[in-house]
């Protein structure tokens, strides 16, 4: 067995359960961007020395696999999946958001990415999460995302990542903030 199958040489790929589609298909764009997000979450985790943040990043990575499976599965086959995005998953992200928002000063400024390597990596993951969300919105508008919980979940992911980056930088006493009164 080899990873080189040559079946994608013509610009197609196989979805879960065998259907072949173009590699430029909306579905492939969406789950491909989530795969990219998962990689950036791993990079952020490798650079981050905060165990609590790393636990959240790892959980997001695991849950990204669930969304990928949903998006890579044709609607008619979704009943075969063992796990789906649930309201409880979204609620867990919202609980993390509320907990971080309670930190003093967390929402007082926007941040300029790059004050720390870990914070910058979390910010890159956030930007990729937003792109994954946009691709998934297009897929949803095409009627290909029957689980209504996927979009709220993805929206919370990027919110949470923004806050995790700020939390990391505040806990490391660095200021990556760009204050509105500063001129560019």
Average pLDDT over residues 101-108: 81
- How many beta carbons lie within 10 A of that of residue 149, not counting itself? 17
For 159, the token pair is: 């919110």
How much of the chain, in percent, has pLDDT values that exceed 90? 65
23: Cα separation from own chain's centroid: 20
Read off the pLDDT of each residue in 93-117 and give the average, rounded to a whole number: 85
Given a cut of 70, whether residue 131 has pLDDT beyond it is yes
Is the pLDDT reported for residue 180 higher than 60? Answer: no
Query: What token pair was written down for 42?
Result: 């791993």
Please check the confidence at residue 159 and state whether its pLDDT lies above 70. yes
- Six token digits for residue 23: 């590699």
Residue 106: which pLDDT band, with cuts at 50, 70 and 90? confident
Res. 101 pLDDT band, cuts 50 70 90: very high
Return the CATH class of domain 12-175: mainly alpha
Q: Which residue has the higher pLDDT, 165 or 21?
A: 165
Residue 140 confidence class, pLDDT cut points 50, 70, 90: very high
CB atoms within 10 A of CB 104: 7
- CA distance from start to end of the chain: 56
pLDDT digits (tens, 9 = 90+) for 28-46: 999 999 999 999 999 999 9
Q: What is the mean pLDDT of residues 121-142?
A: 97
pLDDT score of 3: 80
DSSP 3-state of 52: helix
Tokens of 168: 């990391």
CA distances from 143 to 71, 112, 139 (A): 12, 37, 7
The pTM assigned to this predicted structure is 0.89
Average pLDDT over residues 148-177: 89
Domain boundaries, the chain: 12-175
Q: Given a cut of 60, is residue 178 above it in pLDDT? A: no
What pLDDT is stored for residue 169 in this prediction?
A: 87
Residue listed under structure tokens 């000063």: 105
């Amino acid at each position: 067995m080899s990873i080189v199958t040559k079946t994608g040489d013509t610009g197609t790929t196989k979805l879960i359960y065998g259907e072949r589609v173009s590699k430029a298909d909306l579905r492939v764009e969406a789950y491909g961007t989530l795969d990219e997000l998962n990689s950036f979450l791993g990079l952020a985790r490798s650079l981050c020395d905060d165990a609590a943040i790393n636990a959240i990043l790892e959980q997001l990575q695991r849950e990204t696999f669930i969304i990928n499976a949903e998006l890579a599965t044709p609607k008619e086959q979704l009943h075969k999946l063992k796990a789906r995005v649930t309201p409880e998953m979204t609620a867990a992200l919202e609980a993390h958001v509320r907990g971080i928002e309670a930190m003093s000063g967390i929402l007082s400024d926007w941040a300029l990415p790059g004050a720390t390597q870990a914070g910058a990596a979390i910010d890159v993951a956030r930007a990729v999460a937003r792109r994954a969300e946009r691709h998934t919105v297009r897929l949803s508008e095409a009627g290909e995302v029957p689980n209504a919980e996927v979009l709220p979940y993805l929206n919370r992911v990027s919110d949470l990542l923004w806050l995790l980056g700020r939390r990391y930088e505040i806990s490391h006493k660095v200021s990556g903030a760009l204050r509105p009164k500063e001129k560019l």
